[in-house]
Structures are given as C-alpha cells and as structure tokens.
Amino acid sequence: MSPRLPSAEEEDEDREPKKGRSGPEPEPGPGPPIRKKAKRKGRLEDKGPEAMQSSASLAAEWPLEPGMILHVRMRNFMCHQDYTFDPNQRLTFLCGSNGSGKSAVLSAVIFALGGSARTTNRGSSNRQLVRSGQREASVEIKMHNGDGEDSFKPELYGKAVSVVRTVKAQGGGGYRFMDERGRTVKLSKPREELEKMLSTFKIQVVTWLAIMG
C-alpha cells in the first residue's frame, strides 16, 4: 500500500608533423611549414551551425507530459530569499557548494505538492522551513497540464496548473491554485483538489525512496 500524504499540518593539441624517412632535405620554401591542428571531436561548435540547430530542435521536440514541472519559485523558503528554478525537460543537475541550497529545491517541490518538513528530513514542523527572520514562506510550482485524457480539469486550468503553498512562522498556511494565465481558481477544499491532481498526474510525493540522507 502506498503511503499517504501527511496531513495538513533533485585535444586541442597541435599534431606534430610526422617525421619522414631519411633523405635529402627539401629546398627551403617561402616560409616555415604550416602545422595542421587536430580536429576536436564531440563538440557541437566544431560541427557547424547545422549540428547545433539540429540539437536545439531535438530538445524543442521533447514531448511535454501532464505533471511535468515547468517552474518553481521559492520565497523565504529555507535558505532561499527569492529563488526561481526552471528544470530541464530531460535531465537536470543541481550543482553548488555545501549549504548553497540544492536540497532546499527538492524540499520545496515536495512541500508544494503536499509533503511536510518531516517528509524531507528538514525538521519536525513546517514552521522550520521559513527562512530565519521572516514571517512567511511560499513555494509556487507550475506543471504542464495539456488538454488530453491524462490532463487534470483542462476546462478549468487550461494547459498548465500552478500550486502555491504557504507556511507561516507562527504556524498555519494554505494552498492556492492558479490556471495557465496565473488567475486564482477559487476552491472550497484545495487540499482535496491537490490529492486529485496528484492522482491524475500519477505523482507519489511520499515514497520509500530517500532523496536526502
């Protein structure tokens, strides 16, 4: 049985000319012999603009699936004052020194989708996710929705749906949903809406897979 979401409260080297066989030296020419550089292999800039354009078009053709994360914004969340993260559609690497906030980005995604500080091993209370000295933290996550059979209420949200979750330093918080144009969608039970959306997108926020130690 899958665990439930908690309750409210990721040479360029010059090639040396080959030595010829022994024999009479060639007559001197108009200048020193020109050495040819070895061609670099595996770099798009050395393969001409056509190859780079082909690579760019290949990336552009990568299909968007409902539930794919398009945009994440963190405000006063953990160590981030105001940070925006737009993941690659294929494979994304987060690089940085210790303490720069790489794990905080993963925590933000989980938090926005209903997880808690305990889920991400970042404390015992969601209040601990608020940046030191601030009153409130928020995370906005925008996901592709599309308009097919795997989409979530496309007639209401359109081709993208955004979830904004807030938490206050004194306790409490909530959810807000927005459509593809950034307009707030009024909901009487946003928590239930979130669970329905995750089910439609087949996203399991709380799993036995540990992403942070």
Q: Is residue 23 part of a domain?
A: no
Q: Is residue 99 part of a domain?
A: yes
Q: Is residue 7 part of a domain?
A: no
What is the per-residue pLDDT for 90? Answer: 77
Q: Is residue 124 part of a domain?
A: yes
Confidence grade of residue 213 (pLDDT, cut at 50, 70, 90): very low
Q: Is residue 167 part of a domain?
A: yes
Q: Is residue 193 part of a domain?
A: yes
Please name the residues in contact with 59: beta carbons below 8 A apart, sequence gap of 6 or more: 89, 90
What is the per-residue pLDDT for 121? Answer: 78
Over 60: is that where the pLDDT of 170 sits?
yes
Q: How far apart, in whole angstroms, are the C-alpha atoms of residue 18 and residue 183? A: 69
Which of 71-85, 110-124, 148-162 has the lowest average pLDDT? 110-124
The CATH number assigned to the domain holding 87 equals: 3.40.50.300
Length of the chain measured in residues: 213
Over 90: is that where the pLDDT of 130 sits?
yes
- What number is the average pLDDT over the span 205-213? 62
Phi, psi of 161 (to 5 degrees): -130, 135
Q: How many domains does the chain have?
A: 1
Over 70: is that where the pLDDT of 182 sits?
yes
Confidence grade of residue 6 (pLDDT, cut at 50, 70, 90): low
Which of 51-60, 68-77, 193-202, 203-212 has the lowest average pLDDT? 51-60
Q: Is residue 32 part of a domain?
A: no
Q: Are 205 and 110 in contact, with CB atoms under 8 Å apart?
A: yes
Most confident of 15-24, 39-48, 89-98, 157-166: 157-166
Of 191 and 119, the structure prediction assigns the larger pLDDT to 191
- What number is the average pLDDT over the span 3-20? 48
Integer Rg of the chain from CA: 26
Domain hosting 188: range is: 69-201
Q: Are 111 and 9 in contact, with CB atoms under 8 Å apart?
A: no
Mean of the per-residue pLDDT values of the chain: 79
Instruction: Give per-residue pLDDT as tens, 51-88.
Output: 445 445 555 567 889 999 999 999 999 999 999 999 88
Q: Is residue 131 part of a domain?
A: yes
Percentage of the residues of the chain whose pLDDT score is greater than 90: 50
- What number is the average pLDDT over the span 179-185? 97
End-to-end alpha-carbon separation of the chain, Å?
Answer: 24
Over 90: is that where the pLDDT of 44 sits?
no
Percentage of the residues of the chain whose pLDDT score is greater than 70: 69
